Amino acid sequence: MNEMVSTRNITDQAQAVQTQSATHTWYLNAYQLHGNLWLSWQTTAPFRAQQGQIMVYSSQFFPSNPQDNVKTWQWDNISSNGWDTGLPWGSGWYCAWNAQRSPNGPYTYVVQLVTK
């Protein structure tokens, strides 16, 4: 007979339990260069966000689905030190760094930015 031990029982019986946490930050920067909207990004994380994308939206809001209303986008492993979006600089550009939820789930916002 195979007897399964529940997680609760294991936790109740465990001794010298240790927990560690870490915090990482993702940065998204928007700036004007040669009249265009440029974006750059970086993170303190020692890993890349899963299927990370940098987005600029055609709408004046962040859509509930981060994959909708996209004007232009770039994978986050390309040109992180500066990406010319090809769009004119100005206020009201809705920009975001998105990543897939694990495992291979829908996209979610990591960082959101609106140009001023």
Of 96 and 3, which is predicted with more confidence?
96
Which tens digits make up the pLDDT trace of 2-54?
A: 555 555 666 677 788 889 998 999 999 999 999 999 999 999 988 777 789 99
> In what helix (H) or strand (E) does residue 99 lie, and over which residues does it extend?
strand 94-100
Of 32 and 104, which is predicted with more confidence?
32
Q: How is 22-83 classified by DSSP, letter by letter?
A: ----EEEEEEEETTEEEEEEEESSSSPPTT-EEEEESSSS--SSTTSSEEEEEETTS-TT-E
Dihedral pair phi/psi, residue 57, rounded to 5°:
-95, 150
Which tens digits make up the pLDDT trace of 47-84?
A: 777 789 999 999 999 999 999 999 999 999 987 789 99
Q: pLDDT band at residue 93, thresholds of 50, 70 and 90?
A: very high
Q: Which domains does the chain have, with CATH numbers?
A: 25-114 (2.60.40)
